[in-house]
Structure 1
């Protein structure tokens, strides 16, 4: 194992100058190349095999992977976590890797399957077995592909067939889907179930569930077995590790969300994930205890778990139900809580609702928030000797009481949400930016930065620059700050898409720059702010162009909106919107307008309020206020609005598994609503009250 150019992290990360231009790198239509000012140079020769070794060697007996055990008598999870140590994980990965090697050698994974460089599928929610499988693949130079647990049959079959998976580790809930689709995934010859085996049928001559599934699998030429049997087989046939000779070898395929078609398979190399874990460990170097609930099919969760693994930390997996996430956190008491804006928005809304609730409790919380926000804005400090003990101790207890670091990714987070949670949790909370194609590692805020709204400078060792987007009105000569498409280059950048040279060449240029498709600006301190998307222009009937996702993001910052979809059509002269209110913020808002006392839990009452023209008009007026505050152009305002309490969802077909809006599908599904909105006269947004 060799680590190169691995510096000590700075004792204090600079805030006045966070990224610096590389002299002599400016060229026509492009900014200079920018690098992290504190740690401009950083590379690693580690593979993911080495990443596990670094964490294990810190303390082989340290708790590593944990779950809440299920109590069949209580029919509920225990209020404790059971842990596998690093040493136990080492034993299990060797067993699983050995078993798969034996099955491949015997031809049970298909004819001519080599010992190395073939693909194992993982179709499951977050659980320890995923990490064991990932480490087994690294130890024996194989690949993994992870599927979102929420995938529909068509997408799951496509990913397994496209990635050439030879086996699938999954739960019994997905086995019927796999067997019914066996002819479409002919390379899959082994299905490994992770569930506890079901009891055999009690009546003579009857077959239990597992026996029926086994017979069905055999009829399809598929071997159906269990995790326990794979581990047992491997322990009886142990084989020495054959790790990659270079971190340039493949470790995984990570499929993009597929907002506009079939998901693309980004090739993930060992060096990308290893770099992501090592580079971020310069910011967070001590062993963390992290809660795992973000999908492991997403690169964001993958790099977080690589970071925690390398630091010798602990990963506690949630119970599988996002509605019980706070309960899981209270049991686990994590020190590290990663998330996405939709999770943090919900937590912040609950805090704000309590502050707005009136009474002595509400007034005290409001005073505490205001005092801590004022201190944060002046000094960046997020602690307060009095209020932390009297007021915020109970707020911190919602996430277990021991959270020290939070990080938000996947989508822009509202600065006010980030600030409220910083002071309410007395924690280091930062925003980062990355994509599947650069292993989620491009930008990250420096610790202690009190100026919110940017994603910070490039992470150590990474490079960014901007290029002109004249068609959108952004250039690198803009004042006060250069603006343009963000280009990303460094060890985290992928080599291309599997079986898609055309898309690879569109995304990567000959100098190794990755075209992110996101528009940013670089401020005077070297921080990058995401302001738009390159390919999201729509043309209205009168000829105006609207960067729809950018404007949508502005209106989505309304505290009243949990979700918002902005729509425009080239045959229409104005935009319309469909919004899902946030129950915590919407309940007091609607109560004041309707005169009826509504609670956040009264979804039926809130849905009725969504149909009240006065409520809709007031909600639209709030959006107009948000738009004016952000200097939105007149033709970019929605002129008609529909409210509904039913969220956009994966099941409805309007969201991808990564919770990104599938715009073409949403247009089809919501066609009747769109037609109804355009049948109304456009609202006059010049009026102070709509």
Structure 2
């Protein structure tokens, strides 16, 4: 998942993992020249995209917030460390009820000041409690929040405020100074709300410059005197305009609706229900440091709110992030490869420096867990405590789930994280235009080096790129430009119809500009039935599978494939047994993490195994 485009080379970006499990299926659509068939997660088989749109009973992001309030009420929601003389103190928390009251007061103040529905509200700061307060006030009263970030430069900030005609920006004092220095170029900007309530000397100099400077706490007081009813929105209401730099020119404003953001929540819930993703709950704690100006952190927080979990903010310095992590002890750690690489380098350098017996024990334990990782086991009853306990403490000791996105991460580092932290590591792929979530790895497969399968809220296909010799018909793996369609796809670029037309097709496909490929597939029922019918085999799936001719023809087909692949005679499949019912946790053939219980399977199918060997001898 990524706020900016996640560029992976063809060699690095398979979309599904190799395994003896069916992960995706082809959507039955008409063939289009130069394009492959769309694919969806197998867990969505028989469901339309419309079926995985909004969470139950929720039609907008304020409803989503109200659900969090209902679940957690007096429990911790937003926390921050308060500066002290010798650094930062412990986390101090505000409950869901307290945050709701502040959000309502802020939104009421904006209404009382005459801001109409769909007014653009700028937010300009690093991650902090007040960022969320402003964002949720926008959702409650149907304003459109527009995040700003100065890493794009003066020209870009000027462009965004001018293009969106933003009349008011909530900013920390340092960002307010930044805006006031260029105020002559910002004719639409009339009000700056100080999120940290600090009026610095530089700000005082501009107080008579025609721009009103108001403290956030003053707005809250104003709103509390005249509280307004919420403004009802729906899934199609614009929630935010997220500007992405792209590769050239000025940033483009990606228009994202309430429904776009909520589709990620729905997709994640669907996958969690199918035990494909970690199931967030109200006891979880998330540390927020990835920029809220980017879409990746926004969708994660939407999910956090849905389950009524807690969010602790970093102190503002990424170099001291691990200090904040040690204090907060999060259960969910969302980051990017750059930080995970730093952790990997630091741990491995420490092992090398320690040397001797300590290094030998670490390396032995590491290789032992790496071996078992191939069989789907991330935990070890001895090594996790004796060897890797100190490593886990670097992230507070409570992390149960890690999520990485925004850029490629090496298989070596992902294996390291699974081994040392004994956790579910989720690697996601997406971009702002697809509201982050497009593909993600899943619990059924813990292999590394790929970006998983399409999330339930969308489907993915590949489009030929002749200039690069990539084709959706390439063998053994179809390759091409990744194209996405679904409830997560953006509405268009703000006031940029020509650029919208370049990226968004008339029938809703988003052309990402990224290259990927599908890796090995496992058989799926629709394709198998289509093949069988082509061989003159008809009837129900059970009847086809029970026909001895089906086995003969399929073994022959496998033999042809093996010959084409250069297999030796003894390497080819000689006999098979069809099983119509999939292996499941319920029937005792899969572990809770969806790994095959080989011993139990051998016992269950012993007679079929004996019969296949008998066929070979005959």
Q: TM-score, normalised by structure 2?
A: 0.77
Q: Is it true that 1:43 corresponds to 2:53 in the alignment?
A: yes
Q: 1:504 maps to what in 2?
A: 500
Deviation (angstroms), 1:259: 3.2
Query: Contact 1:294–1:339 (CA<8 Å) still a contact in 2?
Result: yes
CA distance in 2, matches of 1:118, 1:54: 25
Q: 1:266 maps to what in 2?
A: 254
Q: 2:570 maps to what in 1?
A: none
- The 5-angstrom pairing of residues 203-352 of structure 1 reads 209=200, 213-214=203-204, 216-218=206-208, 220-244=209-233, 246-281=234-269, 282=272, 283=277, 284-287=279-282, 288-352=284-348
Query: Contact 2:264–2:457 (CA<8 Å) still a contact in 1?
Result: no
Deviation (angstroms), 1:29: 1.5
- The 5-angstrom pairing of residues 254-653 of structure 1 reads 254-281=242-269, 282=272, 283=277, 284-287=279-282, 288-357=284-353, 358-377=355-374, 379-525=375-521
Q: 1:638 maps to what in 2?
A: none
Aligned residues: 488
Specify the SS of the correspondent of 1:465. Answer: strand
Task: Deviation per CA, 1:652-673: give whole Å up to 9, x if none.
Answer: xxxxxxxxxxxxxxxxxxxxxx
Deviation (angstroms), 1:450: 2.4
Deviation (angstroms), 1:166: 1.3
Q: 2:106 maps to what in 1?
A: 96
CA distance in 1, matches of 2:506, 2:128: 39
Query: Contact 2:173–2:198 (CA<8 Å) still a contact in 1?
Result: no
CA distance in 2, matches of 1:101, 1:271: 24
Task: Deviation per CA, 1:532-552: give whole Å up to 9, x if none.
Answer: xxxxxxxxxxxxxxxxxxxxx
The gaps in structure 2 that reach 5 residues or longer are: 1-18, 524-618
Q: 2:33 maps to what in 1?
A: 28
Q: 2:552 maps to what in 1?
A: none
Specify the SS of the correspondent of 2:106. Answer: helix
CA distance in 1, matches of 2:420, 2:216: 43
Deviation (angstroms), 1:149: 5.0
Cα distance change on mapping 1:157 and 1:24 into 2, 3 Å: closer
Deviation (angstroms), 1:57: 1.5
2:88 to 53, 77, 80: 77
Q: 1:603 maps to what in 2?
A: none
Query: Contact 1:15–1:446 (CA<8 Å) still a contact in 2?
Result: no
Cα distance change on mapping 1:487 and 1:278 into 2, 3 Å: same
CA distance in 2, matches of 1:353, 1:314: 33
Deviation (angstroms), 1:19: 1.0
Q: 2:96 maps to what in 1?
A: 86
CA distance in 2, matches of 1:243, 1:452: 44
Cα distance change on mapping 1:93 and 1:501 into 2, 3 Å: same
Q: Is it true that 1:183 corresponds to 2:166 in the alignment?
A: no
Deviation (angstroms), 1:75: 4.1
Relative contact order (C-alpha < 8 Å, sep 6+): which is higher?
A: 2
CA distance in 1, matches of 2:506, 2:120: 29
CA distance in 1, matches of 2:497, 2:373: 49
CA distance in 2, matches of 1:54, 1:250: 20
Cα distance change on mapping 1:100 and 1:452 into 2, 3 Å: same
Task: Deviation per CA, 1:542-591: give whole Å up to 9, x if none.
Answer: xxxxxxxxxxxxxxxxxxxxxxxxxxxxxxxxxxxxxxxxxxxxxxxxxx
RMSD: 1.8
Deviation (angstroms), 1:151: 4.4
- The 5-angstrom pairing of residues 161-172 of structure 1 reads 161-172=162-173
CA distance in 1, matches of 2:367, 2:83: 43
Task: Deviation per CA, 1:223-277: give whole Å up to 9, x if none.
Answer: 1011111111111121111131x21010111011343221110001110111112
Deviation (angstroms), 1:174: 2.0
Specify the SS of the correspondent of 2:43. Answer: coil
Q: 1:7 maps to what in 2?
A: none
CA distance in 2, matches of 1:254, 1:409: 18
Deviation (angstroms), 1:465: 0.6
Specify the SS of the correspondent of 2:206. Answer: helix
Runs of 4+ off more than 6 Å? none
CA distance in 2, matches of 1:165, 1:232: 23
